[in-house]
Each structure stands twice: as structure tokens, then as C-alpha cells.
Chain A
Amino acid sequence: MKKLLEISLGVVTSVGGFLEVGSVATAAQAGAAFRFQLIWAVVLGTFCIIFLVEMAGRFAAVSHHTIADGIRERFGFNAFLWPLLATLLVNFLVMAAEIGGVAIALELATGIGFQWWALPVAFLAWLFLWKGTFGFIEKGVAILGLVTLCFVVGAVMLKPDWEQVAAGAVPTLPDHDAANYWFMAVSILGASISPYLFMFYSSGAIEDEWDKSYLGANRAIAGLGMSFGGTIAIGVLIVAALVLAAHGIEQVDDYHQLPLMLIPIFGFWGFVLFVASLGIACFGAALEIGLQQAYLVAQGFGWTWGENLKPRDDPGFSTVYTILLVLAAIPIALGLDPLKLTIFSMALTAASLPLTVVPFLFLLNDERYVGEHRNGMIANAAVIFIIALGFVLAIVTIPLQIFGGT
């Protein structure tokens, strides 16, 4: 019974991690511009992240190491430096995007411009990390995050042609705006396969003191949680296609357009639901990224870490998230467009994937770490596929950034 509770909580938590400003923005853009045609990118991204999260959890539960620990220990400091720097940079950009997401939600709610909210939001997030415990943050974000289910409800209420939705799950070539199409596909993959997600997950497994008895729960949480998150992202995409595209709005390049997805369905409550979903999902993601950044640095250099400790007891750890929050608030406070920043950081996330995913191939096959719980054929094939995908994404992202970005 306790395990069951834990699994459902874990599932909900993973939704909190999965759905953030990146998946909302990329799914909305894709639905508006290409209707159901890019659903496959969400599905593919979700499959990839299921595999990576399951492996990160398994690795932590069996070896009692986080992924960051494992990379440093096996590959040495010099090799560890590259994924470290790449992830620090990507986390910084994504953090700025999440602060921007919360700031937009607050602008929509109050009418006060988003840049004025950047510092208060960063401060509030810092306060949560400063005073909160891991369980409090995990559970709070998870339960409030359920509000994002309104996208799925909305999608069902619009009665889409499910056959067409299913057809969108199969990759097809675009008949217009090819560069834009591929750029969106890359951004969706970047938004789904976030390194912070699986690295955070492995740290969480250590914080929650997982051992081998959690392997089943881990599999269930990874599979169900990420599919749940993917379903919500598909919900956003369907709503965007059936509301925005149907009204002739094919370009979502202004965040003011986003609430229009839900208003025609739910009226004024649609506006409220959108603001709440965006605010909560982004705030939750900001907390998780703040923690992940601190975990990564602390684990990389072997400092004391843990969200359950008091800041006095892990000064290095709390300094890292404090600095990150201050820095990440700056671009938004200066008025940088949060939507553009989001799309840019999602594409960069996709490009950074090989650096963090290649180590999985080694760590999850190393008997010294995972013993008999090594990767099987399918899991290894999945890792190799993700690495190949990551390399392709890394190579195409830069030209697409120039040619296809909005």
C-alpha cells in the first residue's frame, strides 16, 4: 500500500518535472503551425525520456551513486568537465525561461509587465529552496501541478478526430515551411528530453534513500509519469491545433496568444486555468532546476549536499542555487522575451544531449555499479538511438537556429 502511494506520488512528481514552459510553448507553436503533424516528436521525446529516467533511477537505486557521481568517477575530472559546463549553461538558460514563464503568468494575472516579476519570482523560488525540504517541494509541486490536466480535458472536450491525432504520431514530411517544421521538432525533443530531468531524478532517488527494492516502483514511475507528462503535452498541442490553428492563428510568437487556447473552451475560467497552469508548472520546474544545479556542482566536487539539510550545514550547495536564481532572473528583468528565450534554450538542450547521454552507455553496463541489473539489449539500443538522435540534433540545431527560428 505504501509503495502504491509512493508510485502514484512519483508519477505525479514526474509530471511536474516534465511539463514546464518549454513543453507548453513548443507544443502550442507546433499545434498552431502544423496541427497534429508534430505529435510524433512529443511521442518520440517521451519514449526517450522514459528510458533515460528509468536508467537514472535504476543506477541510483542499485549503485547508490547519482548520475553526476558516476560520470565523474568513471570518466575522470577532465572528461566530467564537459557535461558539467554544458549542463550548467543549459540549466541557466532553462531556469531563465522558467522564471520568464512564471513572470508571464503573473503579468497575465495582474497586468504588471513581466520584467517587474523576474526578481520577486526568483526570490520566492529561493525562499522555497531555502526553507523547504525535498519532500515538501516534491509533493507541493506535484499536487498543484495537476491543474495542467485542464489541457487534456480541453482536448477531449474539443472532440478531435482521433484518427488524425493517431496519424500525427507517425513522422511525416512537412508540405510547407520545412525549416520551421524541423526547428519545432528539435525544440519539442529538447523540451521533452531534458538532462535536468533525469539527473534530478537520480539525485531524488538518493535523497529518498532508494535501494534495490525500489526497482519495480522506479520502472512504474518512469513509464507512467513520463507518459502522463507526454499526454499533457499532446493535450496542449491538440488544443493549439483545434483552437488557434482553426481560428487562423498559425504563428505563436507572442506569449499573449497562449491563453487564447483555453478561453474559447472554458471562457473566463480558461484564462484562469491557463495562468495557473503556466505559473505552477514553471515555478515547480524552476525549483527543480535550482536544486539540480546545486546537486550537480556539489556532487561533481564532492561537497555535502541535500535539500533536507539546513543551509548552514551545506553552505556550498545553497550558494549554488542562490547564485543561479539571481543570474537567471537578470535576462527576464531586462525584458528579454521569455517565449523566444524558451524556444532557444529548448533547441540548445537538444544539442547538449550527447554529452550527458553517452555516459549512460557505460555506466548502465558496468557490473561494478549495477551488477545484475545491467541494461538489456532493448535499453542499450534505446541509449544508442538517443545518442545518435542527440548527435543529429546537435549538428542541425545551429543552422536551424539561424534559419528556422522565430
Chain B
Amino acid sequence: MKLLRDILDKQVVDREQVKIGKVDGLVAELRPGEPPKIVAVELGSITLGRRLGERPGRWMARVAARLGGKRHAEPHRIAWNKVRDIGVDIEFDIDVRETAIFDWQDWLRDHVIGRIPGAG
């Protein structure tokens, strides 16, 4: 399997097929004498910022912490052993509602979008 081509930047869905983001980062564990093991995927603006460079990464982390509190000062991670299927999308055996990934969308829904008439 080729990680950069086939995994990175792919669409991530949860077990309900809800689109929750792209594979913005891939985390490997370094083990002495053994090959690095993939342990998680990362999602979110902090990881994307870090891909652009050190400074955008730090800046993004600061913004995220300011807006979202401590819970959002680090990128969101989903453990690799939750992978269920790799096809058009990568499906993880999680429920996005139990993670912090959609906190900002929930905030947006509860405070802005949901208050506008006709939002459904």
C-alpha cells in the first residue's frame, strides 16, 4: 500500500457514512529495531497548517486553542485500528458525534444556522 497516494488526503467517513473530513495527517509510532507502525490518522486545521510550514502550523494551533479551548489545541486523531474499509472513502468504525471533530459545525448549527428560519 502506498500511504501518500492511497491514504493521505482521502475522504474519511464514520460508520454512518457521515463525511467527517480528509486524512490530513498520518501518525506512525517509532519502535526501536522495528519498522514504524501506523497508529492513527489526523484531521483538522492544525495538521493542515503544519503541512504548509512550521509557522502556519503554530499559528493555526494558537487560533484553534483560542477559539475552541484546550480540547482543540491538538489535532483530532482517529486510531488506525478503527479502520473498517478503504474504498472511494476510508470508513472508520467510530461515531463522529462522540468526537470533538464536528464541535465547530455543531457550534455553527446551534448558534447561527439553526437560528435562521427554515434551516430544517
Contact = CB atoms under 8 A, between A and B. Distances in A.
Nearest to B5: A74
A316 B9 contact: no
Contact of A72 (B22, B52, B113): B22
Q: Which of A63, A69, A73, A78 has the most CB of B within 10 A?
A: A73
Contacts of B81: none
Contacts, number: 71
A318 B113 contact: yes
A76 B19 contact: no
A313 interface: yes
Interface string A314-346: 011011000000000000000000000000000
Given A131-B118, A315-B105, A315-B108, A301 B113 contact: no
Interface stretch (B10-18, B30-38, B67-75): B10-18
A80 B9 CA distance: 10
A35 interface: no
Contact of B105 (A65, A80, A131, A303): A303
A303 B119 contact: no
Interface residues of A, number: 27
A303 B120 contact: no
Nearest 9 CB-CB pairs, A to B? A310-B120, A302-B22, A302-B21, A315-B108, A315-B109, A311-B119, A315-B113, A312-B120, A304-B19
30 contacts: A65-B88, A69-B11, A73-B9, A73-B10, A76-B8, A76-B51, A77-B9, A77-B24, A78-B52, A130-B116, A131-B118, A301-B21, A302-B20, A302-B22, A302-B43, A303-B21, A304-B18, A305-B19, A311-B120, A312-B109, A312-B113, A312-B119, A312-B120, A315-B105, A315-B113, A316-B105, A316-B108, A318-B113, A318-B119, A319-B108
Interface of A: 63-65, 69, 72-74, 76-78, 80-81, 130-131, 301-305, 310-313, 315-316, 318-319
Interface of B: 4-5, 8-12, 18-22, 24, 43, 48, 51-52, 88, 105-106, 108-109, 112-114, 116, 118-120
